[in-house]
A and B are shown apart, each in its own frame.
Chain A
Amino acid sequence: MASAFGGPVSLTFQPIHACRKNKNTTFVASLAYVIEAAPLRVVINNREQHLKTKAGESPLLLQLRNITKRYGTYVANDSVDLALEHGQICAILGENGAGKSTLMKTIYGIQQPDEGEIVWNGEKVAVTSPSVARDLGIGMVFQHFSLFETISVVENISLTVPGSLPDLAEIIRQKADEYGLHVNPDAPVHGLSVGERQRVEIIRCLMQDPKLLILDEPTSVLPPHSVQQLFGTLRKLSERGVAMLYISHKLEEIRDLCHCAVVLRQGRVTGTANPRQATSAELARLMIGQDIPTARHAEAKPSCEPALTVSDLTYENPDPLGESLDSVSMAVRPGEIVGIAGVSGNGQSTLARILSGEIRLQGHMAGRIQVFDHPVGDAPPGTRRQMGVTFVPEERLGRATVPTMSLADNVLLTAHGAGLVRKGLIRRRQQADFADKCISAMDVRSRGRQSIASSLSGGNLQKFVLGREILLKPRILIVSQPTWGIDVGAAAMVRQKLVDLRDTGTAILMISEELEEIFEISDRIHVMYHGRLSPSVQARSVTAEDVGRMMMGEFDQKMRAA
């Protein structure tokens, strides 16, 4: 008898579910097998349902009727109706905070709707917990990660998928190869990068042979070629009858993959669209009610003296699984945005941590990083902040913010130097003002500064963190994945803010995986590949193809050849 445990966790504040006996005698087959055999397979506990579907009695796999979910007085989902057929891939579109994740969590049984019902295969069901959802055949990949930090990848997966650890590890390796979702099954989760964690989540879900797959922004941190691989997988699954609810802010992806789209605004369904026919602009208009503005991006007028210089920085990561750096050099001048493109996992996060001071260089290496000609390589983060450098890291929850603290307390984290503390005492009024300013400047949708960070929707928390660092009026801003998880409208706003900040003379270093973003607002572009940084190219004189080639490491060969 297999015992299964499922789901989400710790750092992410998604509920954990009971360890239940799972009567499902699911055997673990390779996904290829699942794809081949899925429609014919009769899983014991789902037998009737499955046969019924085969007999075609209920063409609809899932129906939501009138789902309403409130948090206190706040209505996060308001009488939502939705219908999904077998094999259909349906996009859920909506601004940050529209209630997309909330709706998905309701379907997956993490929380109960206050009103309305869920109909599964023509039968009304009460999805009281994620394990009930899994027994029905619902799988979910979460927006915030739900892995346990303290145990390894394969152990995490063994919580929901039966099988011995060595067997599971083998299957994970197979899947990793099959879908280009590379992870080491034995690596402890706490050492994994954001991208790797997402891959684990996806693999785990695929191993459970779901009938409905819920994907909450699964591609936000996947490299572009992996996205294509993932889409290939998803399409095959769909052909075999697996339905999907797909949340993403990347409209091109939705047009590429999805059969239908439902638009949520402020918790209500405000429209549907056929993503195959609509243009991205039309989808965006449906979503935010207006056209997406693109950032006004005049030619940069940088001064000559660099604000931030990195010279010949080599860093051997003591963690064998970590990313190392190999003679990285660059300079960022006041008044320009320098973009670092590249698939994540090529050293960007190490570089960001070295620049922020979370990883400190040995004293003799201090000069490899200079801020306005002062060596800072060995200086702690606080010292660098005092010199006017601020940072937006890629993990908004747990690193950029303390998940269990309010927004007000989270501004103190980095803004304490901006008059929020006097004689060691926290000045509550100034703190509240700063938080409010940050919330209104970035249009953070929350219930005010007392909201707990983890209760914010992903995109809104990201906007909050960006706002906090921008409001500090930095002389140098180092930002990783600035618009990760942000809706198209807000992303345009954020990019505009970055350009505006540049125009006030701030030196901005932007690390991003999104090429469009890099092209939209950077003035110069570097590419990172295997710990090496390409020479910079002028953003206005280079094509996407050039940069694409550089992302595959082509600059490297040239450099070696030279």
Chain B
Amino acid sequence: MMGRYALVQRSEVSLKSIMLVPLVTFVLALLGSMVLFGFLGAPPLEVLYRLLIDPLASAYNISEVVIKAAPLILIAQGLAIGFRAKVWNIGAEGQLIIGAVAASVIPITFPESQNVLMLPAMMLAGMIAGAAWAGIAAALKTRFNASEIIVTLMLNQIAVQILYFLINGPLKDPMGFSYPQSVSFPPVAMYPLLSDDGMLRANASILVVILLSIAALIYVTRTFSGYTLLVGGLAPSAASYAGFSAKKAVWITLLIGGAAAGLAGVGEISGPIGRLQPSLSPGYGFAAIIVAYLGGLHPVGILLAGTFMAIVYVGADGAIIDVGLPPAAPVIFQGMVLVFYLASFALVQYRIVRVQPEARA
């Protein structure tokens, strides 16, 4: 006879075991992909090489890693602030899209402009729009206690539809034949490239991301506002006793998360893409959730985890073409990272106990 099982928190969790979690996750996910992709006929060691070494083996690949790391890290920094406060924004993908759409209106309206303020204006527009999109979830949560998980998740779908509608309508390039895409952006709408080598696409957005990571570090470690959010996450009764408003925490965290995702959207259209088009992100908004947790919800950890994730992204992209992995390979890998992370983290923090023992035999 089976009893009911429950997860029960461990009292003492050593720092060592917490630090081990990302490591164990990496190793298991890599082993898992070697086995899984091995079944598909890819030689396991080749897969390992492709995923981990190849992405760092050439200047071009490194530049690609930088391009992918920027949005992952940026979004994850924003989300982590919410996750520490136990506000679950899983709508970064939609916030990214809305940020990109809003920002794209500027270069699409002024395609010939040479005003150097265009990029800053786009960044601002992207952040405001992303924050506003997340703000819908905050409003529904604080007003009607609607789960922010569900709302942000559904807003992702709505954002995609808005993008499709606009890109086939008002924002479409009239000269673009039947392609649903906008005009190419003028140079002032683009992040400057980091090198003169025309092949390398890495751009200044990574510098913005690093600066914002430092800002996130200061926010969570030095500011009172960051402290109140953390208290709300760690001990809600203490937060309520101290008078730290739970509603305010929902607003702050969702707005920050939305702004970061919106800015990441600008990074895509003003970076590697250079215009508005139906596909803006290979799921950065979701992968960033994994990055945030893998980084221990700490700004420095997130920098490392985001870089790692970007490496695997680039590696898997290459492997799809060269070793014949299925196109879903990167997503499968992310899925494995998430599952192994959750499992190992849960087992570090909790024990499994049986709530209702079997009757005596």
A6-27 contacts to B, CB under 8 A, are 8-10, 12-16, 18-19, 25, 27
Give the contacting residue for A10; candidates B9, B237, B354, B355; CB below 8 A: B9
Q: Do residues B231 and A3 form an inter-chain contact, with CB atoms below 8 A? A: no
Q: Do residues A399 and B222 form an inter-chain contact, with CB atoms below 8 A? A: no
Closest B residue, CB atoms, query A381: B243
Q: Do residues B356 and A403 form an inter-chain contact, with CB atoms below 8 A? A: no
Q: In the docked arrangement, what's the CA distance between A16 and B353, Å?
A: 10
B200-253 contacts to A, CB under 8 A, are 222-225, 227, 231, 234-235, 237-238, 240-245
Closest B residue, CB atoms, query A380: B243
Give the contacting residue for A13; candidates B11, B238, B240; CB below 8 A: B11
Q: In the docked arrangement, what's the CA distance between A22 and B12, Å?
A: 23
B344-361 contacts to A, CB under 8 A, are 351-361
Q: Which residues of A contact B360 (CB under 8 A)?
A: 1-2, 25, 27, 162
Q: Do residues B241 and A1 form an inter-chain contact, with CB atoms below 8 A? A: no
Q: Does chain B have a CB within 8 A of A125? A: no
- Of A83-91, A250-258, A320-328, A412-420, the one touching chain B: A412-420
Q: Which residues of A contact B353 (CB under 8 A)?
A: 5, 19, 159
Q: Does chain B have a CB within 8 A of A208? A: no
Q: Do residues A158 and B11 form an inter-chain contact, with CB atoms below 8 A? A: no
Q: Do residues A2 and B242 form an inter-chain contact, with CB atoms below 8 A? A: no
Closest B residue, CB atoms, query A403: B235
Q: Which residues of A contact B240 (CB under 8 A)?
A: 358, 381
Q: Which residues of A contact B357 (CB under 8 A)?
A: 2-4, 158, 162-163
Nearest CB in chain B: distance from A488 CB, A: 28
Q: Which residues of B contact A383 (CB under 8 A)?
A: 243
Q: In the docked arrangement, what's the CA distance between A162 and B227, Å?
A: 43
Q: Do residues B356 and A165 form an inter-chain contact, with CB atoms below 8 A? A: yes
Closest B residue, CB atoms, query A22: B357
Q: Does chain B have a CB within 8 A of A544? A: no
Q: Does chain B have a CB within 8 A of A356? A: yes
Q: Does chain A have a CB within 8 A of B3? A: yes
Closest A residue, CB atoms, query B355: A155
Q: Do residues A380 and B358 form an inter-chain contact, with CB atoms below 8 A? A: no
Q: Which residues of B contact A15 (CB under 8 A)?
A: 10-12
Q: Does chain B have a CB within 8 A of A56? A: no
Q: Which residues of B contact A425 (CB under 8 A)?
A: 222-224
Q: Do residues B235 and A412 form an inter-chain contact, with CB atoms below 8 A? A: no
Q: Do residues B224 and A399 form an inter-chain contact, with CB atoms below 8 A? A: no
Take A164-B359, A403-B235, A416-B224 as given contacts and tell me if A14 and B243 are in contact as well, using a CB distance cutoff of 8 Å: no
A365-415 contacts to B, CB under 8 A, are 380-385, 391, 393, 395, 398-405, 409, 412-414
Q: Which residues of B contact A162 (CB under 8 A)?
A: 357, 360
| A contact face: mostly helix, strand, loop, or mixed | loop
Q: Do residues B223 and A391 form an inter-chain contact, with CB atoms below 8 A? A: no
Take A9-B11, A13-B11 as given contacts and tell me if A404 and B234 are in contact as well, using a CB distance cutoff of 8 Å: yes
Q: Which residues of A contact B356 (CB under 8 A)?
A: 155, 158, 164-165
Q: Does chain B have a CB within 8 A of A357? A: yes
Closest A residue, CB atoms, query B231: A402
Give the contacting residue for A413; candidates B242, B245, B351, B352; CB below 8 A: B242
Q: Do residues A399 and B355 form an inter-chain contact, with CB atoms below 8 A? A: no
Q: Do residues A10 and B8 form an inter-chain contact, with CB atoms below 8 A? A: yes
Closest B residue, CB atoms, query A190: B237
Q: Which residues of B contact A150 (CB under 8 A)?
A: 6
Take A162-B360, A164-B356 as given contacts and tell me if A413 and B238 are in contact as well, using a CB distance cutoff of 8 Å: yes
Q: Do residues A402 and B243 form an inter-chain contact, with CB atoms below 8 A? A: no
Take A159-B355, A424-B225 as given contacts and tell me if A16 and B11 are in contact as well, using a CB distance cutoff of 8 Å: yes
Q: Do residues A380 and B352 form an inter-chain contact, with CB atoms below 8 A? A: no
Q: Which residues of B contact A416 (CB under 8 A)?
A: 224
Quick one: CB contact mask for A156-177 with B, threshold 8 Å, 1 for yes? 0011001111000000000000
Q: Does chain B have a CB within 8 A of A484? A: no
Q: Which residues of B contact A401 (CB under 8 A)?
A: 235, 238
Q: Which residues of A contact B352 (CB under 8 A)?
A: 19
Q: Which residues of A contact B3 (CB under 8 A)?
A: 3
Q: Do residues A13 and B242 form an inter-chain contact, with CB atoms below 8 A? A: no
Q: In the docked arrangement, what's the CA distance between A482 and B353, Å?
A: 36
Hey, which bits of chain A sit against chain B, CB under 8 A? 1-5, 8-10, 12-16, 18-19, 25, 27, 148, 150-151, 155, 158-159, 162-165, 356-358, 380-385, 391, 393, 395, 398-405, 409, 412-414, 416, 421, 424-426
30 A-B pairs whose Cβ atoms sit less than 8 Å apart in the complex: A3-B357, A3-B358, A9-B9, A10-B11, A16-B9, A16-B10, A27-B360, A151-B355, A158-B355, A159-B355, A165-B356, A358-B240, A380-B245, A381-B240, A383-B243, A385-B243, A398-B235, A400-B238, A404-B234, A404-B235, A409-B227, A412-B224, A412-B227, A413-B231, A413-B238, A413-B241, A414-B241, A425-B222, A425-B223, A426-B224
